[in-house]
Structure 1
Amino acid sequence: MKTYSRTCAIVFGLMMTVLCVVIAAEIILRKVFNHSLAGVDELSGYAIAIGAPLCFAVTAVERSHIRINLLHMRMPRLAQAILNLLAALALAALAVFLLIFTIRTVSETKLFGSVAQTPWLTPLIYPQSAWLVAMGVFTLACVILAGQALWLAVHRDSVELVRSFGPETVEDELEAELSDLEARA
């Protein structure tokens, strides 16, 4: 799953780098040559729509999402395991719901042949298809993680369920920072 997460992060990073270059070119063209590419804002919207699900996938795999663990860390291990399982299942359910919504949106776009109301008149099927793929990447990550959490729950492995699906502890964060510091030295 780490390779999956890293690939999503690299794709997102490359998309944002290209977008930054295009925005910089747009600014230079406007200021120096009094000319506009007319559509950079459209590209930005597409990049965000495609990039967001990729970031969601990275966040799910890396356990980087925000959790309020003030109470979580004070609960018994079994309660923590149950909450972690519920969180993984709820995130997978949300991802599936979003994927279904995306599929319906792309289907309607294809049915009506919708185009963007911008100077480029982009057929929306193209950026929305990329959005659908990105949403599928997010959903796949969440379903795999939920399956792993469910597997651990069925096998009553609450220790691993807490370790693999719980929020990072202070010790985990300290260990990660120290290993990062060691790698840089």
Structure 2
Amino acid sequence: MTVGVLLALTVAFILLDITLRQLGASLGGSSEISGYVMAATASWGLSFALIELAHVRIDFLRLRFRTWGRIVMDLLAIGSLAVTTIVVAVQTWPVLGKSLQSSARANTPLETPLWIPQTIWFSGWLWFALTASLMLLCAIGLLASGRLQSFDDQFGTVSEADAKDSEQEAAR
């Protein structure tokens, strides 16, 4: 909800700035601020999407397998996601580190100290990497304990039928 309000406020700010430009004035900074909001909501939203099984997965191959084939595909998916997010999170630190070291500011009229939006962005990627890594460990734990149905519930894909059932339950 908070993210939705933040995005709605950003849209309202951009629309106000565009309207004011037509009248010969401007608040300034709308493209800069919207970029910061987009980076923050994307980096933090990825973790939420992961927990909700909302990341896009191509199922046509996975659905052709039986139980253990699906498990391997699901484990490969969460494992590759965890590794990728760790690499990205590690690579975001030098960007923030250089901004902190040089007291960098945006080359815009706002002259925003770049460490502020970059800290939010970096922490979102760090959280995503931590979330994906913990989910990988949980997946391995479920498999090691033989809880295949729990593994499928937590790390499988959501079919259209499952999604409709969830929507109907939420509507009640």
TM-score scaled to structure 2, two decimals?
0.90
Equivalent AA in structure 2 for residue 136 of structure 1: L
For 1:139, which of 112, 116, 129 is the aligned residue? 129
Question: Displacement, 1:28?
Answer: 2.9
Q: Does 1:111 align with 2:95?
A: no
The match for 2:52 is 62
Partners of 1:19 and 1:157 in 2: CA distance = 44
Question: Displacement, 1:77?
Answer: 0.3
- 35-44 or 164-173, which moves further after superposition? 164-173
For 1:90, which of 80, 96, 109 is the aligned residue? 80
Unaligned runs of 5+ in 2: none
Partners of 1:166 and 1:106 in 2: CA distance = 35
For 1:120, which of 110, 115, 126 is the aligned residue? 110
Give the alignment of 1:3-82 within 5 angstroms: 10-32=1-23, 34-82=24-72
Among all aligned residue pairs of Structure 1 and Structure 2, give the percentage whose two residues are the same amino acid.
25
Q: Does 1:99 align with 2:77?
A: no
Q: How many residues align?
A: 172
TM-score scaled to structure 1, two decimals?
0.85
Q: What SS is found at the alignment partner of 1:69? A: coil
Partners of 1:139 and 1:14 in 2: CA distance = 25
Deviations 1:100-145 (A, max 9, x none): 1111210111112222111122121111111122222322321221
Partners of 2:122 and 2:38 in 1: CA distance = 13
Unaligned runs of 5+ in 1: 1-9
Partners of 1:140 and 1:14 in 2: CA distance = 26
Q: What SS is found at the alignment partner of 1:151? A: helix
CA contact (8 A) 1:84 1:161 kept: no
